[in-house]
Structure 1
Amino acid sequence: MSEDKKTNDFEKKHSNLGKKISLSIIAILVVLGTCIFIVGHQYVKESLKPLNPKNNDLIQVQIPLGASDKKIGSILQDSKIVKSGLVFDYFVNSHNYADLKAGYYELSPSMSLQTIADRLTKGGSDQPLQGIYGRMLVREGDTISEIAKTVQQRSRFSSDDFLKLISDKTYLKELKAKYPQLLGSAFKSKNKKYILEGYLYPATYNSQNNVSLKQIVNQMIAKTNQEVSPYYKEIKKQNLTVDEALTLASFIEVNHVGKIDRQKIAGVLYNRLNSNLPLDVKSAVKYANGKSSIQVLTKKDYDSTSAYNLYQYTGMGPGPISNPTTKSLVAVLHPRDMVKSYFAYSVNTSNKKVKYYNTDVSTNLLFDNDSVMR
């Protein structure tokens, strides 16, 4: 019996020792796992921030055709645009950025991952933007003020030269005479900031030293006429002027959403117009106050007496607030869901998902939620 007891005691001691070792290993693994999680979470959190908020230098990046999100993240990391390519890959997938486009881009270490992803969904230039002087890219949704800066960066002309030319009455009359169907209605609207706002189509233009400033602008107007002219009959059939159609298209363009949502947003705008409600387009209020798309509106901005303040006034306002694409113009001509009486929409700036409301949105929600009625 004593031998059996000794054996049992020995086995119990070894069993207890084994349990202690197992528990110790589990405890160590839990601690290590927790530490790895904390460190990993902190790394991801930091990687979601701009790489260097103080560095606004523009770095040219080429995204090849067919590149995966992971490959694009690696290119951005190697180019010192983002801290982690893996975190960028995680970000675009978790926020449903499904269509990053190939091309040449100018990106900065001060940009957020959202800003970079938004740029990549818009599409880049098919030609290098740096290293070859004299190529100028006008992007979707650019305003004339933004184009003026591009002119200064990509040509021998200053932004002031550009703004002076597009405000020159003699030159504007020449353009009107050459493109009466395109520009005729633009001249009839009052209180316009720039007659040509919305008429300088997004594309890459020749701005080499042997090209005059007039020739640069002429390229843009000719491109707009080329893109818009197939829709002249349809615009007239919808009882719209070209200027009105491009104005509504410019309100839609700022959202950078897909085809169906562009059409639904057009439906919301028509519903508000038909109900004699202010359009409440925040991008128009920003334009009225000279603010960029990333700046936040204040109560003072909403009180602006500018005719572009579509929070204060009904109708479409004086005209376009930026350069729309034909994708947004088509949405204006083929709106959706008007019969459902949607009167407001909000755009999630992270994943571009759009919500629609069948009642007018309260003033408080408009102030508190910057995504409502972009």
Structure 2
Amino acid sequence: MSKQHPEEQSFKDEVLSALKRPQPNQESHDGGLENQSIHTQQEIGSNMKKENRSNRSTENERQSSTKRRSTSSEKSVVTEGSANRRKMQRKKEDRIVNRIVLIVVLALLVIGGVLGFSVYRYVTSGLQPLDASNKETIAVEIPSGSSNKAIGEILEEDDVIKSGMIFNYYTKFNNLTGFQAGNYQFSPSMTLDEISTMLQNGEGSVTSDAKVTIPEGYDVDQIGDALAEATNISKEDFLALMESDEFFEKMETAYPELLSSAADAEGVRYKLEGYLFPATYDYYTGNTLEDVVTQMVEKSNAVMSKYYDQIAQKEMTVQEVLTLASLVEKEGSKEEDRKNIAQVFFNRLAIDMPLQSDISILYALGEHKELVTYEDTAVDSPYNLYTNTGYGPGPFNNPSEQAIQAVLEPTANDYYYFVADIQTQEVYFAQTYDQHMQLVEEHVNNTSN
């Protein structure tokens, strides 16, 4: 046996003594080792779990990062695709817009070309004679002081040239001035140059053989007297023409808008009553009776053509307008009075009240006198507007344009009666019959006025 060093022996003893002392919470040395082993395994398992969780977390992060990169990449692709689609859409829209602009430009060019060609043809045509084959002469009156434009309108209205506007520009461009007033005989076969030369030199200007003046408010019977007095036309021939259905149909064909409602009228004495416009007419020996009357109807159409649209808007006929105008013409002389009188007639028509105009009685009697009696108001005639309601068959005379305007533009009022002072020509209006009779007593029956 070898001898041990005292220090070594002492160390061993301490170790053995320590091993023999029981450990806290351990029953024996073996139990402690076992528990220590178990604890060690648990720690290892715990560490492994932590490591696994850590690995899984790292994997998840890698997967999440990959997904984010993938999503970001997909979004980038989608954004880039949307941008491309928008670019393609804009290009498509631009092509459509360019195409539309091109079409519009081409359309405007075509329209401009068509308009230019139409204007060219219109001007070229207007410079030519109205009817090169028509040598018939037409009497044309050029009033003193007429401008080139006014002369052009007269020539166009009288069917001598195609366009008064072209005549006006033609004379201006060619510095044609000094046209002389007078009565001319022109032909539709004449050129603008020929007509201008005649107007400058006064060539062809003729003096009418007679002038026939038809005063405003004259009826057919009175016009017959005026013609017989101024010309070699007899009143009998004139009245026979007024009763001719064939001549009326000829006039209606020439002026349908003017005479269509007159053609439908029943019970009229003369179908052209109201359509022979009051004016002064030139009469030439070579003129026929039909020529003279046609001038009057043509003048009436020229005046009424300005009001056809207005008449239609008021839902009236030309016959109705001229009928009321013929009453207004005789019942009042001032424009203001005529507009009020026209409204009185409209007020009465609205309640189906007879117009009770003395003018209708005189026409029904076929007489011209100052006073109408109670006996006269009982005359049996469709023209009697004391016993018949409405407008009556037709006009009672040939009214002026002012009377026509009064009917188309009456002054609004609520009167149903009026009376005129014969001496002063003042017209007084009333709402009731009692007020009216008081005015009659003051201004008609009272001889001191």
Q: Same fold (TM over 0.5)?
A: yes
Alpha-carbon distance change, 370 to 296 in structure 1, aligned in 2, over 3 angstroms: farther
Matched with 1:359 is 432
Q: Which runs of 4+ in 1 moved over 4 A?
A: 361-372
Aligned to 2:204: none
3-state SS of 1:197 partner: coil
Match of 1:160 in 2: 236
Deviation at 1:363, TM superposition (A): 10
TM-score by length of 1: 0.60
C-alpha RMSD of the superposition:
2.4
In 2 relative to 1, CA 132–214 (structure 1 residues): closer, same or farther, beyond 3 Å? closer
- Residue number in structure 1 paired with 2:246: 170
For 2:316 and 2:265, locate their aligned partners in 1 and report how far apart those are by CA, in whole Å: 13
Aligned runs of 1:125-274 on 2, under 5 Å? 133-274=209-350
Measure, in 2, the Cα distance between the counterparts of 1:169 and 1:198. 16
C-alpha change, 1:218 and 1:156, in structure 2 (3 Å) is same
**1:200–1:224 Cα contact (<8 Å) kept:** yes
Q: Deviations over 1:260-280 (max 9, x none)?
A: 111111110000000110000
CA distance in 1, matches of 2:273, 2:434: 29
Shift of 1:351: 2.2
CA distances 1:224-272 after superposition (whole Å, capped 9, x unpaired): 0011110000001001000000101000001342221111111100000
Q: Percent identity?
A: 33
Given the alignment, which residue of 396, 421, 428 partners 1:348? 421
1:29-108 aligned within 5 A: none
Shift of 1:326: 1.3
Partner of 2:407: 332
Deviation per residue, 1:274-329 (Å, 9 max, x gap): 0110000101111001111x332223311111000001110010010001111111
Q: Contact 2:332 / 2:341 at 8 angstroms: preserved in 1?
A: no
Which protein, 1 or 2, shows the higher relative CO under an 8 Å CA cutoff with sep ≥ 6? 1
* Equivalent residue for 1:322, pick from 392, 397, 419: 397
- Deviation of 1:365 after TM superposition, in Å, equals 8.3
Report the Cα offset of residue 178 of structure 1.
Answer: 0.5
**Residue in structure 1 matched with residue 54 of structure 2 by the alignment:** none
Output the amino acid matched with 2:378. D
After superposition, the C-alpha distances for 1:109-142 in whole angstroms (9 at most, x for unaligned) are xxxxxxxxxxxxxxxxxxxxxx984210000000
Q: Give the TM-score of the pair, scaled to structure 2.
A: 0.50
Q: Given the alignment, which residue of 271, 276, 279 partners 2:355?
A: 279
After alignment, is 229-238 or 131-140 more displaced? 131-140
Q: Which of residues 282, 297, 311 in structure 1 aligns to 2:372?
A: 297
> Is contact 1:247-1:320 (8 Å) kept?
yes
- TM-aligned CA distance change 1:369 to 1:169, over 3 Å: farther
- Encode CA deviations 1:70-105: one digit per residue, 9 max, x unaligned: xxxxxxxxxxxxxxxxxxxxxxxxxxxxxxxxxxxx
Which amino acid letter does the alignment assign opposite residue 424 of structure 2? N
* Counterpart residue type for residue 349 of structure 1: I
CA contact (8 A) 1:344 1:361 kept: no
Distance 1:198 1:262 in 2: 17
1:204, distance to aligned residue in structure 2 (A): 0.6
Match of 1:116 in 2: none
Structure ranking higher in helix proportion: 2
Q: What residue is the counterpart of 2:173 in the other structure? A: none
- Report the Cα offset of residue 207 of structure 1: 2.2
Q: Contact conserved, 2:208 with 2:284, CA < 8 A, in 1?
A: no
Instruction: Give the alignment of 1:9-28 within 5 angstroms.
Output: none
Runs of 5+ in structure 1 lacking a partner? 1-130
> 1:215 offset after TM fit, Å?
0.4
1:103 alignment partner in structure 2: none
Quote the Cα distance in structure 2 between the aligned partners of 1:366 and 1:355: 7
CA change 1:358–1:198 in 2 (3 A) is: same
Say if 2:361 and 2:376, in contact at 8 Å, map to a contact too. Answer: yes
What CA distance in whole angstroms lies between the structure 2 residues aligned with 1:301 and 1:207?
38
Paired letter, 1:342? Y
Q: Relative to structure 1, is the Cα distance of residues 361 and 197 closer, same or farther in structure 2, using a 3 angstrom cutoff?
A: farther
Q: Which amino acid aligns with 2:370?
A: Q
CA contact (8 A) 2:418 2:428 kept: yes
Q: Point out where structure 2 has 5 or more consecutive residues left out of the alignment.
A: 1-206
- C-alpha contact (below 8 Å) 1:342/1:356 kept by paired residues: yes
Give 1:295's aligned amino acid.
E
How many aligned positions are there?
239
Tell me what 1:27 maps to: none
Q: In structure 2, how many angstroms separate the alpha carbons of the residues matched to 1:170 and 1:143?
A: 21
Q: Tell me the SS of whatever aligns to 1:230.
A: coil
Assess if the C-alpha contact under 8 Å between 2:354 and 2:389 holds in 1: yes
Cα contact 2:324–2:391 (8 A) shared by 1: yes
> Are the counterparts in 1 of residues 428 and 439 from structure 2 also a CA contact under 8 Å?
no
Q: Deviations over 1:45-70 (max 9, x none)?
A: xxxxxxxxxxxxxxxxxxxxxxxxxx
Residue identity matched to 2:395: P
For residues 319 and 181 of structure 1, the distance between their equivalents in structure 2, rounded to whole angstroms, comes to 16
